[in-house]
A = this chain, B = another copy of it.
């Protein structure tokens, strides 16, 4: 349930979701949150989300093994559970692909099961089909949450944090696209990302997160979703972004920062808390994962980036395409 690979046109999935909303202007009984967040929330505390991975759009077969295709697809869906602070319970898996030896179905399944087991979930159903086209894996994740964290709770004065480091997954893709072979650290960031499920539960419960999202579209895009849903302005500080070491080693900090801000599929968490609550050392000690303050919430709208030279850039509508290509307004700070 994100924009990854939605290349029908800029913002196409957002448009789709909006239009689906038009068809169904009120949510059905028993559904408390519909299109537009990381997942739908059902009566009884069930949280459900779907995530689609398509060969040659989200991955190439030459890049990763069939086992990793399954692992990644499942992690993408499980990461949506994390983003809602839900405990993953089960996956429904739909797989379509060519019938004759084009891929190893059992390996894809093994990867899915592996990712599920890592967070205590199981595969509980699914569908398969032959297809004359690319390998396609659609994973529906079902989880439970007593108090799901949404995107729309960020408040002025809040701090913006991210788990782990960003940009290595996008950097791996760039290396592959340039015909190279990424280092193992870059490769594994793309091939075997982690869904931050336990971290998310702690962030929700012990850090009282106001809003949370998983970083699948890139930090600017996903912070933009929080800003838009919450009706606030988020200012990110480029100097503070935890850019992946492997990405810096390969591309240098300037280029790697760009991947950290605008590249997707890191599956880290971006969350907003009241000031002074997060203890990064305690977090690292507890989960073996860093957590870094990257920005702040104020009144206003959109995502703004304080660049390393002090320039303040307003990302008008949020999202990769706009930051990178268009709709970017720049003003001198102070």
A contact residues vs B (CB 8 Å cutoff): 1-2, 4-9, 12-13, 16-17, 19-20, 23-24, 26-31, 34-35, 39-40, 42-46, 48-54, 56-58, 89-90, 92-94, 96, 99, 105-106, 109-110, 113, 116-117, 120-134, 136, 138, 140, 142, 144
Whether the pair B128, A20 counts as a contact (CB closer than 8 A) is no
CA of A82 to CA of B232, assembled, Å: 44
Whether the pair A28, B122 counts as a contact (CB closer than 8 A) is yes
CA of A122 to CA of B9, assembled, Å: 25
Given A52-B96, A57-B130, A131-B133, 20 additional A-B pairs, CB 8 A: A7-B129, A8-B130, A13-B127, A16-B105, A16-B126, A17-B125, A26-B122, A27-B124, A28-B120, A28-B121, A31-B89, A31-B122, A42-B142, A50-B127, A52-B128, A53-B129, A54-B96, A57-B131, A94-B94, A131-B136
Query: B residues within 8 A CB of A12?
Result: 128
Whether the pair A46, B42 counts as a contact (CB closer than 8 A) is yes
CB distance from A283 to the nearest CB of B (A): 28
Whether the pair B52, A5 counts as a contact (CB closer than 8 A) is no
CA of A24 to CA of B122, assembled, Å: 6
